[in-house]
Structures are given as C-alpha cells and as structure tokens.
C-alpha cells in the first residue's frame, strides 16, 4: 500500500472556467503530492470557504463575470485583513492590470500560456515558494513580537538607537520613567540629547566631542559584542543622574541597531551583573527561537549543539546534555552534549539508558516537572537507581527538564556540574525549560519532514519500477507522465515522451486504432487491446494496452492512464 504524503499546502483556486480549473487541480496535485487544491467557480463560494477553512494560499483568475480577481484580492487584503499569499493567474497580459494587482497586495501576477503542463508547473512552484516565504516571515514576525513584548515589559530602561545618526528608534516605559520624557518625545530625540557630561557645558564643541565618544563606544560594542560604561543621563527637567549604560548590537526592523540598557546607579538599586545576564538571557532565547524557525535536516544536530553550548556557558555549568527516546521506546539515548574545557562530555555508560533504570526520573518528567538536584548526595531514597547513575559519572549537581510534544515525553535536557556543588537561579531554570520546548518542536518537525521524504521515495520507487510501462494521456492525447519501463518499451527518454503524443511511437494504423479506443474511453469503455509499438530505433514490440478512464468529480472525461505490457 502506498503511503499518502501529508498535505503541506492547502490552496484555494478561483476560476469560472471549470474545465481549466479541474485540469489545473489534477496536474498540480499529481505532480505535487504535498499540495491540495480546492476549486471554486464563484467568489461567493470562495469567501464562504475562506471564512470556514484554513488555507495557505489563493490563486485567482483575473477576468470573471461575478467578481474580478482584483476585486477578490482587495476584499481579502482590506476587508478580511489577511496577508495570505495571493497569485493572479490570467490570460490577460496587460501591464496596467499587473501593476494594479501588485499595488493591491498580490504576491505575483502570472500570465497563462499555451503549454498547460509548463504553466501549471510554474504556478505550482510559485505558490509553494510564496507560502514557504510567508510562513517564514510569520514565524520571524512572531519572534520579533515576543522580543518586543519582552522589551516593552522589561523593568530596565531600554532604548534602540540608529548607530549612524544616533536617533532613538524605540523606547520602553521604564526609559520614559527614568528620563522624564514620553515615548513620543523620546522618538523625536537623539541619544546625545539625553546624555550629560559631569559639567553643564553644552557648547557646540563639547556636543561634537560627545557624539564622537558615543560612536567610538558603538564601534567597540560591534567589535566586542557589547560595551558598558558609566555616564550621566539628562532628565527632562534639567537634572542629571549617574547611570551605567550598556550597548549591544541587535537587529531592529531588519536593520543593524544598538540596544541600550540604562541603569540608575545613584542608589545601587539594580546589580549590574543581573542586568547583563537578563539581557543575555533574552537575547539568547530570541536567537535560539529564530534559528529553529527554518532548518534543514543536515543542520539539525549543529543547531542542537549550538543551543546546548549557549545554555551551558550562560549557566556556567560543566556539561549540558540531551537524551532522546529510542525508536523501540525501551531506552533513552545520549544523543547530544556540550562540555566545558577539561570535562568529558561523551560518557559511554550513559549511551543507552533503559527505562527501567530511571523510574523516578521518568515519573517526574512525564508529569511535566523539572528535576532540580543541587546535591546529588542528598537525593531522595526513591531515586536510588538514578543517584547511582549520576554518581557513576561524578556529577555533584544536576538540573533536568522534559522534552515533550503532544503529551509524549520525547526525551530530557539537562545541565550538570561535577567540579563543584552549584545551584541554578530561576532565570536559568526558565531558559532550560524554554530550550526543551524549542528542541521538542524542532525534533517533531524533523520527524515529519523525514516521513514525507521517505513516503515520496517509496511512491516514486514503486511506480518507476513497475514491470509494465505506465503512461498518463490527457483528454487532448498529450502524454503527461511515463515511468521508466515505458521509456524502455519505446526507446524514447522521458524528456522526449513528455508533452508529445502516442503517434510518436505508433504507425498510422495502430494510432488510428488507439484514437477509436480513446474515443470510447470517454463513455467509460476501457477494454484492453493489442497494438504494435514502433521504437525509436524503428524496431517493433507487440504490447497489450490496459486503459483506465479518468474523470473529474463532475463527470467530465479528462484523460486516461494505461499499463503497457510487452507480449514478445
């Protein structure tokens, strides 16, 4: 039985020409098993379906009697407030229509051509590419929104400035509180305007020197990854206060910018190291989340290892490790690890942990709990089996979180210290939990991608290795598909056969017979018959053709698929 690949692209196709619409659906779904086309002949049907169903993209004809493609596009963009990928696909090649479509928010404007097979292949590639891009942009936008929410809610005053002209691009509420300006006022200022020197001299020469100093510090932030110094901020009321300022390079609206943390050190309210660690934590979470938005199977292990190194170095741990459940569900395999210098990361006795060896461990993780063991020597009696395993690798402290997806424990992620007894603060526990969720989602995505690849491979292997030849002919007698055996039977390559007609490998008598039989297939008559195939080298083969008629849902004949069996 052939596995059906999972649908990754659900596309709405609107066109009043039912024949072309059905033909497009047949071709695009047959050549793209991960695509599902839903056809709509009227805008009313389409909008009703749009409200109920979840679509990944829309393809629409331009000129239709009820409502044009441009009118549908305008409603989708302005009334429905949707940015779903939208392609105008039409036989009208007017430049003004294309410009209007793009101005209304169309992703592409594609003109129909005479070669149906080629134009639907172009259309398939275009809509899949636009959907993939849209999904990536949505994921990145969500990541940016999460970052903006963290930025706005941070207790520390934060600013984003342009590294060239020092204009303030963004600020949070805490920045308004410490500086006395509203957000709107800050966004109309430059950073040097809210800085003060130790004296009140604000001459042009002093201001130029201040700007030069700030840009030198920005340059250091670029080179070192961050830069911190003490200065004075200038309050709106003219008062000044000593502050500690941290510069960090960030991406803001896809442009390089500087994020500034302002710390009031007049009363020593906030410890500088805590500010820096919190900023590092927020930045690392954003970086890791973004890195897993899009990845290929060959970069999966690299991204996991990079993430383990980040949490290990951030938490000052000796080892950061990942265990994943084996395919048989009987073991947890030690798959990824990072270790600090001088610490052995790959420990043979931990390679495969039987589930019966860690019952207490798994009871906690399956309940969604993290396991925090500041001192291995003080582990509870019911964890005696796990305690022996941990002591065998000389770990003194460990922290473990579940890696779960769809209520299934896929594995567990942990950090450990074996050179000193050490604990971890709440931020580090939170970071490890977030990383566990990110890895679980990435692992599930990788498994789904692998299954799709394997399914497609099995499908093509089966069809291409049939002993009989297989050929799909459209209602216009154009050859749309052939397998490997068909090329051997005819002596022609796939490239030569696709887009041609059966007359290529039949003499006039046999081709006339095929035309008569093909006409009967439109009425559902599909009995086998014998003809002679003329190969490319002009030799001949007697073959039995066993046809199957193909009809669309409405009952219209759209072609046939035939098995070709050699008789000699």
Residues 554, 364: Cα–Cα separation, whole Å: 57
Which of 88, 30, 29 is CA-nearest to residue 58?
88
Q: Which CATH superfamily includes the segment(s) 9-141? A: Response regulator (3.40.50.2300)
Predicted pLDDT at 198: 46
CATH class of 157-269: alpha beta
8 Å CB contact between 249 and 222:
yes
**Alpha-carbon span 208 to 211, nearest angstrom:** 5
Scan for tokens 């020409």, then name that residue: 17
| 3-state secondary structure (DSSP) of residue 282 | helix
Give the CA-trace dihedral at 83, 89, 94, 97, to 10 degrees.
-20
* Burial of residue 37 (number of CB atoms within 10 Å: 0-12, 13-18, 19+): buried
pLDDT at 534: 92
CA distance 27 to 552: 12
Report the CATH fold assignment for 297-428.
Answer: Beta-Lactamase (3.30.450)
Asked whether this chain's domains 297-428 and 469-566 adopt the same fold, the reply is yes
The CA distance from 376 to 372, in Å, is 10
Rg over CA atoms, the chain: 33
Using alpha carbons, list the distances in angstroms from residue 147 to 151, 154, 253, 281, 356: 6, 10, 12, 12, 42
What integer pLDDT is reported at residue 47 of this predicted model? Answer: 92
Q: What integer pLDDT is reported at residue 138 of this predicted model?
A: 80
pLDDT score of 235: 81
**Whole-angstrom distance, CA of residue 211 vs CA of residue 165:** 9
DSSP 495: H
Question: How many separate helices (H) and strands (E) can be counted in the chain?
Answer: 16, 22
* Token pair listed for 56: 């990944």
Q: Compute the distance between CA of residue 315 and CA of residue 239 in angstroms, rounded to an integer.
A: 39
Q: Which residues contact 51 (CB under 8 A, 6 or more apart)?
A: none
8 A C-beta contact, residue 541 and residue 532: yes
Burial of 295 (0-12, 13-18, 19+ CB in 10 A): middle
* Lookup: tokens for 435: 């990383």
What is the pLDDT tens value at each position of the chain, 568 positions in all?
A: 344 457 889 999 999 888 888 888 999 999 899 999 999 988 888 999 998 888 999 999 888 888 988 999 999 999 988 889 999 988 766 777 888 888 888 888 888 777 878 888 889 999 989 998 888 778 766 666 666 667 777 788 889 999 999 999 999 888 898 889 998 999 999 888 887 654 455 677 777 888 888 888 888 888 887 888 888 777 888 887 788 888 888 877 778 888 888 887 766 544 555 666 677 777 777 777 777 766 666 777 888 888 888 888 888 888 888 998 888 889 898 888 888 877 776 666 677 888 999 999 999 999 988 899 889 888 989 999 998 888 888 888 999 999 888 778 888 988 888 888 877 777 778 888 888 888 888 777 777 767 666 666 665 666 677 788 888 899 999 998 888 888 999 999 999 999 999 999 999 998 998 888 888 888 888 888 899 999 999 999 899 998 888 888 778 888 888 889 888 7
Classify domain 469-566 by CATH number: 3.30.450.20
Nearest-angstrom CA–CA distance, 30 and 143: 35
Angle at 152 between CA 148 and CA 157, to 5 degrees: 125
Alpha carbons 15 and 90: distance in angstroms, whole number: 9
**Pairing of the two strands 86-90 and 57-60:** parallel
* pLDDT for res 265: 77
| Cα angle 66, 43, 63; round to 5 | 50
Pair 68, 13: CB distance under 8 Å: no
Tokens of residue 472, six digits: 């799909």
Structure tokens at 355: 């589930």
What pLDDT does 304 receive?
Answer: 85
Q: What is the pLDDT of residue 421?
A: 80
Domain boundaries, the chain: 9-141, 157-269, 297-428, 469-566
User: Is 113 exposed, middle or buried (CB count within 10 Å of its CB: 0-12, 13-18, 19+)?
Assistant: exposed
Per-residue DSSP letter, 355 = G
């Amino acid at each position: 039985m052939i596995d059906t690949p999972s649908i990754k692209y659900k596309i709405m196709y609107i066109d009043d020409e039912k024949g072309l619409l059905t033909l497009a659906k047949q071709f695009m779904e047959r050549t793209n098993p991960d695509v599902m086309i839903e056809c709509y002949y009227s805008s009313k049907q389409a909008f009703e379906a749009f409200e109920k169903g979840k679509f990944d993209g829309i393809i629409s004809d331009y000129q239709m009697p009820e409502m044009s493609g441009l009118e549908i596009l305008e409603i989708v963009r302005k009334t429905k407030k949707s940015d779903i990928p939208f392609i105008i696909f039409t036989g009208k090649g007017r430049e003004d229509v294309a410009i209007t479509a793009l101005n209304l928010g169309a992703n592409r404007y594609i003109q129909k051509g005479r070669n149906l097979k080629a134009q639907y292949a172009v259309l398939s590639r275009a809509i899949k590419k636009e959907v993939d891009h849209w999904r990536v942009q949505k994921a990145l936008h969500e990541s940016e929104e999460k970052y903006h929410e963290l930025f706005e809610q941070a207790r520390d005053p934060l600013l984003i400035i342009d590294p060239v002209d020092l204009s303030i691009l963004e600020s949070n509420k805490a920045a308004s509180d410490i500086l006395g300006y509203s957000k709107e006022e800050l966004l109309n200022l430059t950073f040097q305007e809210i800085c003060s020197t130790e004296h009140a001299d604000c001459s042009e020469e002093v201001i130029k020197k201040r700007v030069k100093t700030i840009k030198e510090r920005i340059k250091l932030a670029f080179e070192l990854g961050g830069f911190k110094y003490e200065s004075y901020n200038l309050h709106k009321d003219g008062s000044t206060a000593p502050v500690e300022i941290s510069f960090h390079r960030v991406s803001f609206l896809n442009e390089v910018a500087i994020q500034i943390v302002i710390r009031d050190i007049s009363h020593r309210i906030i410890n500088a190291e805590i500010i820096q660690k919190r900023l590092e934590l927020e930045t690392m979470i954003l970086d890791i989340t973004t890195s897993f938005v899009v990845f290929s199977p060959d970069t999966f292990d690299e991204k996991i290892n990079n993430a383990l190194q980040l949490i290990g170095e951030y938490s000052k741990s000796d080892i950061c490790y990942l265990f994943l459940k084996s395919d048989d569900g009987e073991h947890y395999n030690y798959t990824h690890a990072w270790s600090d210098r001088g610490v052995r990361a790959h420990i043979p006795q931990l390679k495969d942990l039987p589930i019966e060896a860690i019952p207490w461990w798994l009871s906690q993780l399956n309940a969604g709990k993290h396991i925090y063991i500041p001192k291995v020597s003080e582990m509870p009696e019911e964890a005696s089996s796990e305690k022996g395993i941990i002591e065998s690798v000389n770990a003194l402290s460990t922290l473990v979180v579940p890696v779960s997806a769809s209520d299934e424990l896929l594995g567990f992620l942990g950090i450990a210290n074996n050179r000193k007894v050490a604990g971890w603060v709440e931020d580090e526990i939170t970071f490890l939990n977030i990383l566990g969720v990110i890895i679980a989602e990435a692992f599930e995505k990788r498994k789904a991608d692998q299954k799709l690849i394997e399914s497609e491979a099995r499908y093509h292997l089966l069809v291409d290795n049939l002993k009989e030849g297989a050929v799909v002919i459209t209602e216009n007698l154009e050859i749309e598909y052939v397998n490997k055996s068909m090329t051997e039977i005819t002596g022609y390559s796939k490239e030569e056969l696709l887009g041609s007609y059966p007359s290529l490998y039949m003499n006039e008598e046999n081709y006339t017979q095929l035309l008569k039989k093909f006409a009967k297939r439109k009425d559902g008559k599909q009995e086998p018959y014998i003809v002679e195939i003329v190969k490319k080298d002009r030799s001949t083969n007697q073959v039995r053709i066993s046809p199957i008629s193909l009809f669309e849902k409405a009952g219209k004949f759209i072609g046939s698929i035939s098995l070709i069996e050699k008789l000699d």
